[in-house]
Every structure is written in structure tokens, then in C-alpha cells.
Amino acid sequence: MNKSIVILISGRGSNMEALLKSRLPCRVAAVISNKADAEGLNIAQSHGIPTAVVSHRDHPDRVSFDTALAGVIDGFRPDFVILAGFMRILTEGFVNRYKGRLINIHPSLLPAYGGLDTHERALHDGVKIHGCTVHFVTPDLDHGPIIIQAAVPVLCHDTPQTLAKRVLHEEHRIYPQAIRWLCRNQIELNEDGRVILRHRKQVGHALISPSLE
């Protein structure tokens, strides 16, 4: 039986749209937003996906919001909960409720540059390689077990906007791949909390930036 997922968004949801276009081997049970005017809700509906809104403004604190959100999610009985630009810090209780089933994508090569303003910080530090990471969510913000990463070179003329655009292109490639692996039972967590990919051969090519002469 195919797995099912619920996707959480707060805005346009470009990663959500990339997932919907990727013909994933799972059923997208619903797209849920904490904002009623999130453009991604219209995009989901155009794909025939059920949508729901759980507004954080209707709740006095994070715990009550997360409780309400979990109630809506559980109504769709998903195997995995996918964060795609969901701009809320989730409580430890919520994260533990979906332990091993809650997935996020972050615009940096974790564990470097957790949190916000990742592209600005990377440029400020002068790093030559930047990227994005798909990972399991744990109570330790942006530090869960890593599933897949994509790296891009940081160019000398880059701005936060140009770097973000190049990273986002890779996000749209690796997020669907991570969800495919999950839904095909090709991922497991070992005793050390690291991700093991079953039946995947890894290549040893290096990304060097700037390139060698």
C-alpha cells in the first residue's frame, strides 16, 4: 500500500509545488497552512489536494497551536509530515509526536548555518561552498539526522538573492528524492541516529570551488 504524506506550508510553497509535480510514489493527503492567505493553498487545490488552515493567531501559545495542528494532521492519517516553508518553530511535544516521520528542508549545508539568514551569513563568512539539506526534525532545531544534501559553489559576484536562487533550484531536486526514498522504505536510522540509505551506491566526486587550474 502506498504511503501518504501531509505537507505544511506558510507561503507560496515552492518546495511543496516541486513535490506535487514530481509524481511521488505516495498519496498527498493534504496541504495545511498556518496562514489562510498562503498562495500555496491555491496551488494545492489546483492539483486536487485537500487543504486546511490552522491559524497560529487563533491560539494563545505555541503548545495550544501545535495541539490543534496535530489534531488536523492526524485526521488525515499520514505516514510522514513534510515541512515545506512552514515558518513556525514547533514544540518538543509536537516533534516527538511525529518522531521519525517529520521531515524538513533547510537552506544550508547543516550543521552549518542553522536558523535564519543562511545565505547572508554564508556570504559574510566567505565560504566557497553552500547548499541545502533534507533532514529528520528533532527538538534540536536544524540538527536532525541528515537524509540528503546538495552543494553549490559560492560565486564572487553572488548576492544573498542570487545565491538563494541557486540553492532553491537544488532544493527542488533533492526534496522529492528524499521523499521517494522514505516512501519506498529505503531509509533507516542506525543506532547512532544517522541515516542509512539501503541499496544506494555513492560516488566519490569532489566539488571544489573555486575550481583547480
Q: Helix H segments across the chain?
A: 14-20, 39-46, 62-75, 92-97, 118-125, 160-183
Q: Please say whether the beta carbons of 175 and 106 come within 8 A.
A: no
Q: Exactly one of 106, 119, 130, 172 is catalytic; which is it? A: 106
List residues bridging with 52 in a β-sheet: 32
What distance, in Å, lies between the first and last C-alpha atoms of the chain? 52
Is 56 an annotated catalytic residue? no
Rg, the chain, Cα only = 17
Determine phi and psi for 68, rounding to 5 degrees. -65, -40
Indicate which residues carry an active-site annotation: 106
